[in-house]
Amino acid sequence: MRKMFRDILNRLRGKRVDISSMDRESLQIVYRILYDVRIDLVEAFYKIKDRRLRDIYDPFSMLMLKLDKLIQYLRRILGEPLYAKYDRLSQEDIENYIYKLPLELSITLRNLIHNSRMLKDFASSSATYYLKSMLSNIDDEVEDIAKHIDSIIK
């Protein structure tokens, strides 16, 4: 899985991005949603850290590395400022954004949002194996989003 994600990122890096050939609005929506999901995951990590669940640190750090690389790539091709701060998206904003995306991408993003919020909610009380399972699901969804972005960029 890690090699596959790395291959996707390498293919994305190797592409010459032509703004006119891609759906800039879709990529902007994905960027904002991933930025919002990242905040939820950081909050979940603080809860995991407080419980001292060291078994989860490595899978969590690999997930965050993948997510950060994907966000960084989107930030660069969209020309977003490095230290931009965005307000949290409301549920209504997220719904409006998701309706504008292609079906497969919107389903994957919806699952990612749901699982990241579940992880944040259950990080303070759930068993380690359950948290690892949620992290695995989130990791798979991040990889799926990278594949969708690869297909959007011509």
**18-70: pLDDT as tens digits:** 544 347 888 888 999 999 999 999 999 999 888 888 888 889 999 999 999 99
The candidate with the shortest Cα–Cα distance to 152, out of 27, 29, 16, is 27
pLDDT of residue 20: 40
pLDDT of residue 4: 62
Q: How far apart are CA 60 and CA 10, in angstroms?
A: 22
Please check the confidence at residue 153 and state whether its pLDDT lies above 90.
no
15 vs 77, higher pLDDT: 77
Q: How far apart are CA 51 and CA 42, in angstroms?
A: 14
8 A C-beta contact, residue 55 and residue 128: yes
